Amino acid sequence: MMNTLDKYLERHNIKRAQLARNTGISTSTWQNVSERQLDRWTVRQIKALASSTGLATTTALRELEALEDG
């Protein structure tokens, strides 16, 4: 089963390595994030993820919530 982060990245056609380069957050940190539930992610991580996909933070958060619930 795919985790929320990987579902989001797949939906936006982004690889984790690309995400790490775009956000300045290491791939190992993103691995740790992917193993946690969404309510344990930091605001910085959600903002970085939103920025990397060109979405507003609130839009990205709603999408992440839908993926986690789905």
pLDDT at 70 over 90: no
pLDDT tens across 22-41, in order? 999 999 999 999 999 999 99
Name the pLDDT band for 2 (thresholds 50, 70, 90): confident
Percent of the chain with pLDDT over 70: 100
What pLDDT is recorded for position 14? 97
Average pLDDT over residues 52-58: 96
Secondary structure string (H, E, C) spanning 5-54: HHHHHHHCCCCHHHHHHHHCCCHHHHHHHHCCCHHHCCHHHHHHHHHHHC
Domain boundaries 4-69, CATH class: mainly alpha
Q: Is a pLDDT exceeding 80 seen at residue 1?
A: no
